[in-house]
Structure 1
Amino acid sequence: MKLDPDAQAAADLLARLLPRPLHQLGVAGAREWTRRHLSRNPPPPVHEVTDHLVPGADPGVEIPVRVYRPGPGSGLPVLLYLHGGGWTLGGVDRVDPLCRTLANRTGCLVASVEYRLAPEHKFPAPLQDCHAALAWVTAHAARLGADPARTAIGGDSAGANLATAVCLLARDRGEPLPVFQLLVYPAMEYAEPRPSWIEYADGPLLTVGDVLWFWDLYLRDEADRANPLAVPATAPSLRGLPPAFVVTAECDPIRDDGEHFARRLRDDGVEAAVKRYPGVFHGFFPQVGVYARTAEAIDDAARHLVRAFAAVRAGT
């Protein structure tokens, strides 16, 4: 495995701080380890950050949504961002530097969703929360200073899974769809033994054992493995979904999962660009200021988002 120097330094540190895989720590242990050890560089400044409580699909459920504004004005495009963490770890604080950076790079509002986590809240609860957050952003666009016609959705890992699942749900219900999907090393299929699954089975950071553990914490039963809203790669057709930019990491067990999904999108007539970032492993995208590849990937994602928003404004 050939990692970039900064990624190799991070992998060496992880080997000391995480001597056994996440799944062997248990849910509470993995959450505590993540809280204590994953890097927290000072967040970049952004014009304004506001916290909101959004009504969920279930009675009494309120979903925290943090909105990042890059500057004054109204009619701004929006990115609904869904954090990763295997549907089990993380939250809006973990992706705070990333969301600030994306807002500044794109000139769009970024709405980051604190969806409920598994295993306390299994599928479909996290999906329902993300779908409700998208509906809230669209309905409250004027209050937020947003343009509801220029709303994109994205996320990393489990968050990318949820982003596409929201699009599938909206498509099948005949609801308005986001104009774009940002899918960062997306978790789209359950345990397909593709080459990266075998070559990078032991990480760094994410192992095959971790992937299976996270899936089994999220899904209610074996039948959910065939539900496209839980495992999007099982969808008979992806036709009609928004165009996408798919980010993958070279040294990631689910790299080929994401790249195969991009091919599925293209085969079904959906515009989908994909880029593999060499020398890095799963989890690199939110690590602002840690890896050189992170800055590169964020810049690439920002260009795709700006282009997608401009195309809507131009009516193309």
Structure 2
Amino acid sequence: MTDYRTLIDDETWAFIDRTNSFYPPDTIDYTIDQQREVYNRMCREFFTGYPDGVTAETKFIKAAEGHEIPIRHYRAEQNAPQAVVLYSHGGGFVVGGLESHDDVCAEICHRTGYDVVSVDYRLAPEHKHPASFNDCMTAFNWVAGTFDLPIVLAGDSAGGNLSAAVAHHTRSHPRKPVGQMLIYPGLGGDITRGSYVTHAEAPMLTMRDLVFYKDIRTGGKDHSRDISYVPLSDPDFSDLPPTIVITAECDPLSSDGEAYRDVLLAAGVKAWWHEDAGLVHGHLRARHSVARARESFSRIVESIRTLGSKEWGHPLPAEVNPGRQ
């Protein structure tokens, strides 16, 4: 049994307690609409506003299936941007949207100087896989056709999964992304090993949660060999963009970051994985209240900036152990 009292500091516990104050113990058994109400209320309470000089405009882009996809375009009032970030939000493919990660995207825009486009992809269970992926691909194609700038893919949790899936499906695109920044993503690793076992009962995210989100997203269908659903199932990891993965130690998904880093390096792709000690899933919202989360967010922002400028400052080990899923 993992002793989280020794791994997690008081600041992070305060963040966990504040988050949990919005969630009754049986929230996972609530209806989807009720869960969204709880999540949206929690997001509003953590909202920190926009930095000075950042503006945002909500637009709608047309999908091939005929529906409209809301996106939000963030701009910083300074020199012309040198890159554009396509951001996919977290929320287990079930909750979240433009509002849930509004201030996060605004701060990324402010601190990098890059334009940021956030995509409000369709959610399960109303829209099962591959609806969310298809919407993110539509958003990528819109960004590629609208901006004459390098494209960086970024996303947290479910959004990290979607960003990686887009990267795998656009590596031969004439506007191939120049990098991807994945924040505690779920990529389809081996749930019988590593953090899936060690942190199966972690604060903020448990294995029960992950099974719930998986079943909701798929409707019970097996997509285990579908790269748009499980990026780690790809038999070929070559030609993917330089990749940075940031995970949290106290998170069942952390081993996916290590596994993904290893298979990318084995395929000759630049990749770096960093696990933040003592942090939990969802710590983006703690970036203003927890020192460790503040440092993590600075690392994330700087990584996005370096990927957009096509820089690489991380070590590349001579030997790796590929496939540690």
Q: SS of the counterpart of 1:276?
A: strand
In structure 2, the CA distance between the partners of 1:245 and 1:26, relative to structure 1 (3 Å rule), is same
* Aligned match of 2:37: 32
User: Aligned partners of 2:68, 2:30: CA distance in 1, in Å?
Assistant: 29
User: Aligned partners of 1:21, 1:239: CA distance in 2, in Å?
Assistant: 43
Whether contact under 8 Å (1:247, 1:277) holds in the other structure is yes
Deviations 1:192-249 (A, max 9, x none): 2223212222231211111111111112443312211111111111111111110000
* Aligned match of 1:182: 181
What aligned pairs does 1:167-178 form with structure 2 within 5 A after superposition? 167-171=167-171, 174-178=173-177
Whether contact under 8 Å (2:94, 2:217) holds in the other structure is yes
In structure 2, the CA distance between the partners of 1:75 and 1:296, relative to structure 1 (3 Å rule), is closer
* Aligned match of 2:130: 124
Q: SS of the counterpart of 1:226?
A: coil
- The residue type equivalent to 1:176 in the other structure is R
* TM-score, length-scaled by structure 1: 0.90
Question: Identity of paired residues, percent?
Answer: 32
Deviations 1:244-281 (A, max 9, x none): 11000010011112221111211111111111111110
Structure 1 unpaired stretches of 5+: 142-146
In structure 2, the CA distance between the partners of 1:42 and 1:17, relative to structure 1 (3 Å rule), is closer
Are residue 91 (structure 1) and residue 97 (structure 2) matched? yes
Moved more, 37-46 or 262-271: 37-46
Residue 304 of structure 1 deviates from its aligned partner by 2.0
Whether contact under 8 Å (1:69, 1:108) holds in the other structure is yes
User: Aligned partners of 1:223, 1:136: CA distance in 2, in Å?
Assistant: 30
In structure 2, the CA distance between the partners of 1:258 and 1:21, relative to structure 1 (3 Å rule), is farther
What aligned pairs does 1:48-127 form with structure 2 within 5 A after superposition? 48-59=55-66, 61-74=67-80, 76-127=82-133
In structure 2, the CA distance between the partners of 1:139 and 1:217, relative to structure 1 (3 Å rule), is same
User: Aligned partners of 1:293, 1:110: CA distance in 2, in Å?
Assistant: 25
* Aligned match of 1:136: 142
* TM-score, length-scaled by structure 2: 0.87
User: Aligned partners of 1:224, 1:116: CA distance in 2, in Å?
Assistant: 18
User: Aligned partners of 1:75, 1:106: CA distance in 2, in Å?
Assistant: 9
Residue 286 of structure 1 deviates from its aligned partner by 4.1
Moved more, 210-219 or 282-291: 282-291
Structure 2 unpaired stretches of 5+: 312-325
- The residue type equivalent to 1:166 in the other structure is V
What aligned pairs does 1:1-316 form with structure 2 within 5 A after superposition? 1=4, 2-20=7-25, 22-38=27-43, 39-45=45-51, 46-59=53-66, 61-74=67-80, 76-141=82-147, 147-148=148-149, 150-171=150-171, 174-189=173-188, 192-311=191-310
Aligned length: 304
Residue 29 of structure 1 deviates from its aligned partner by 2.5
* Aligned match of 2:322: none
Deviations 1:171-209 (A, max 9, x none): 3x6453110100001110166222321222223121111
Give the aligned CA root-mean-square deviation in angstroms: 1.9
User: Aligned partners of 2:221, 2:154: CA distance in 1, in Å?
Assistant: 27
Residue 296 of structure 1 deviates from its aligned partner by 1.4
User: Aligned partners of 1:190, 1:308: CA distance in 2, in Å?
Assistant: 25
User: Aligned partners of 2:101, 2:126: CA distance in 1, in Å?
Assistant: 22
User: Aligned partners of 2:106, 2:267: CA distance in 1, in Å?
Assistant: 33
Q: SS of the counterpart of 1:299?
A: helix
User: Aligned partners of 1:232, 1:50: CA distance in 2, in Å?
Assistant: 31
In structure 2, the CA distance between the partners of 1:291 and 1:120, relative to structure 1 (3 Å rule), is same
